[in-house]
Amino acid sequence: MMFPMPMPPMPSDIMDAAAANPAGFADALATGMEAFQGAMGENGGDMGAAFEAMGDVMGPIMQDMGVSPEAFDAAGDAVGCAIGGGMHMAPADCGGAEMGAICQDAVEMMMPPGMECPAPVMDAMGDMGQCMADAGCMPHDVAGEMMPPPGDPGFPFPCDPAGECMVPPGDPAACPVECCAPPPMDGACSAMAPAMMPPEGGYDHAPMPADAVMAPPLELDVAAVDPAAPVADDPMAGIDPAAGAPAPAPEDGGMGALGDALGGPAGAADAAPMPDAADAAIGAAMDGAMDQGGAPAPADPGGAQASDGDGLPAEDDGPEVDPSAGMG
């Protein structure tokens, strides 16, 4: 089997929470998977509903650990792409141990160079694979729920012009070499499921088709947010400053069921970058109000108001905005 490349990085808020309290983070995953199994039974095997139940349970726990809803949503997007992509290229008959190894190696590959995932969290990721298998989930079905739909940001495989994935499930050799990477040689798949490792010398990968279309990568930059900090005081939250009206709600970034599980409502991580024309319309007084690289406004409540240098907020030269607009 293979994993998609490049791997989406794990948001720093999630890594910080896991490092600060590995056992608590692992317990949160275990509690979420219990909800997943229960919902699978109650909803006749509806995996989407099961992942949603998992998120309903995990979200408040993670927020208590200092993980903002935006970071939680971004982590769900990233994990969905990474684990889902691995499940897509895994054998169709993988059992719980193999699925757990995929989860573990995926998370390990998402960590920054030189940083290891805490052991309790790794154990919980292994249990997550076994839990899904015990609930009757098969790897290719899991991949379909966890990955974004073809064409959505973060979908890890090439598609044809009609939007159909060009890499059949369970066929890692069909993935162009520039789009995939093997599991770590010293990772969980190698130790627990050696039959899933690439053959000696690697796969004879198919070339990238000339008409292949690759989806854009996920935007996962999420500023650290104090979950207890109020955000309702930001009159620009959810507002397109150029239009003076609420910005369109971002669509599900395609993380499917795991996105619902780990993220709930779509957060700032999925917001589209602000167009240059909008920047011009806001005027120079708003230059300090938000990052000029597309960083979404709701993710940084503390930076939503600029200063004119004397400690007072800079005046907004843009169109007037109803302070209540765009708020939930």
pLDDT tier at 70 (50, 70, 90 boundaries)?
Answer: confident
pLDDT, tens digit (0-9, with 9 covering 90-100), for 215-225: 998 877 544 33
User: What's residue 257's pLDDT?
Assistant: 40
User: What's residue 191's pLDDT?
Assistant: 92
Domain coordinates in residue numbering, the chain: 3-196
* Angle formed at CA 318 by CA 313 and CA 321, multiple of 5 degrees: 85
Average pLDDT, the chain: 77
Mark out the alpha helices in 43-200 (DSSP H runs).
47-64, 69-89, 96-110, 119-134, 139-146, 188-192
Taking the CA atoms of 79, 269, 113 and 116 in sequence, report the sign of the dihedral they define. Answer: negative
In the predicted structure, residue 188 carries a pLDDT above the cut 60: yes
The single-letter code of the amino acid at 131 is: C
Q: How far is CA 46 from the centre of its chain?
A: 21
pLDDT, tens digit (0-9, with 9 covering 90-100), for 289-320: 444 444 444 444 444 444 444 444 444 444 45
* Residue 245, C-beta contacts closer than 8 angstroms, at least 6 positions apart: 239, 325
Least Cα distance to 188 among 94, 101, 97, 82 occurs for 101
Least Cα distance to 216 among 73, 81, 15, 48 occurs for 81
User: What's residue 221's pLDDT?
Assistant: 54
Instruction: Give the residue with greater pLDDT, 244 vs 168.
Output: 168
DSSP 243: T
In the predicted structure, residue 264 carries a pLDDT above the cut 60: no
Instruction: Give the residue with greater pLDDT, 285 vs 7.
Output: 7
User: What's residue 32's pLDDT?
Assistant: 95
Across residues 19-45, what is the average pLDDT?
94
User: What's residue 108's pLDDT?
Assistant: 95
pLDDT tier at 46 (50, 70, 90 boundaries)?
Answer: very high
